[in-house]
Structure 1
Amino acid sequence: MTTIKDRLPTTIHTGRLVLTTPTMAHAPAIAALANNENVHRWLARLPFPYGVEDARMFVEEFASSDAECCFAILRDGEFVGVVGLSLVPGEPPELGYWLGEPFWGLGYATEAAQAVVEAARANGATAVRSRALADNRGSRNVLRKAGFRETHEGIESKGNCTGKPTVYLHQDLSR
């Protein structure tokens, strides 16, 4: 039986971006952009400080696991962030992403999120979900622009953001 991960493309092209499988060649740029307190504060699963070894582990283990479908976000060949889907059996895929701080506010997150959501739809997903810290207005705006609707609020129970107010979002792809 094929999973949605098996059906998703390994590369997605948008108007300005290329989303592709993260490789070891991306590790130095991943480390440089992820080793930033302003990036770290919004992410449940990103360690800090973040070094090249963390980036290598991300590429070798996390990005290639059956539970994740990750894409490096490239703009003119330059690594700018990560977008992907977490895949939990019995639940809709969960969209997650992060961008390096120099690339905030340029529409890249929305463009990448929309492309991954559309790829999920085209390959059989009937819904996707996401979440953002309640005070992360930028991410909440990205997700709304990408077609998500806020469904409820709660308290994050995982990772770096444990105990923080969180907004949960959903998008029906069956329409």
Structure 2
Amino acid sequence: MFIRSERLFLRPAWPEDWAELHALIDNEAVVRNLSRAPWPYGPDDAKRFVAAPQGGNHPQFFVTLPGAHGARLIGCVGLIEDAGGPELGYWIAQGYWGRGFATEAVRSVLSLARPLGHRQINARHFADNPASARVLEKAGFRPTGEIRLGHSAARPQPAPTVHHVIDLAAPMDCDGPEDGGFEPMRRAA
């Protein structure tokens, strides 16, 4: 699967991406906010990640920034299968923080989530990462009030995480009562 947004191109990982991935994520400031990434993040970790199979309705994407000389990898975003339902995960390389790329990538994945059959998506961020809280809020997530300890390989001990959720709109049934306003047109015909 591929997704094109206003500024970004989201695509699957390719085996040759491992070196670029490693160069971007081998950064403690990035990994300390991730619950599933190893630390230190080595070349073999990057090779395993790009070789991992895609989940059918839990896709993972490399976030790339197209430019005149090709597309640069700037992060990752995807849906992860979790016991509590699908969970959103994402990261953006430190050199690209503060430009709205994470929000744009998250919104792009959410636009695909409902067609994949998801009705609710969960997300967590470490409580000391307010930038991630803003990304989730701008994408339409709301905090549930649940706080629990989370683990990151780049943190010396567990730290509080804040749970967020987004309920995706129910599908519109063109033949039902919520038909998008077409019923008056049918009566006029």
TM bin, normalised by shorter chain, reads 0.7 to 0.9
- Greater helix share, structure number: 1
Residue correspondence of structure 1 range 1-175 to structure 2 within 5 A:
10-61=1-52, 64=54, 68-76=58-66, 77-88=71-82, 91-160=84-153, 163-175=158-170
One-letter code aligned to 1:173? L
One-letter code aligned to 1:81? G
Of stretches 104-113 and 45-54 in structure 1, the one that deviates more from structure 2 is 45-54
TM-score normalised by L of structure 1? 0.86
Q: CA deviation at 1:145?
A: 0.5
Alignment correspondent of 2:186: none
One-letter code aligned to 1:69? P
How many residues are matched?
164
Q: Describe the superposition over 1:40-83 as per-residue Cα deviations: whole angstroms up to 9, x where unpaired.
A: 1111111122122111101113x535695210000011000000
One-letter code aligned to 1:55? A
**Gapped regions of structure 1 (runs ≥ 5):** 1-9
Task: Assess if the C-alpha contact under 8 Å between 2:58 and 2:86 holds in 1.
Answer: no
Considering only aligned residues, what root-mean-square deviation do their CA atoms show, in Å?
1.9
Distance 1:157 1:102 in 2: 25
**Gapped regions of structure 2 (runs ≥ 5):** 171-189
TM-score normalised by L of structure 2? 0.80
Distance 2:110 2:145 in 1: 20
Q: CA deviation at 1:158?
A: 4.4
Higher Rg of the two aligned structures: 2
Distance 1:67 1:56, change over 3 A: farther
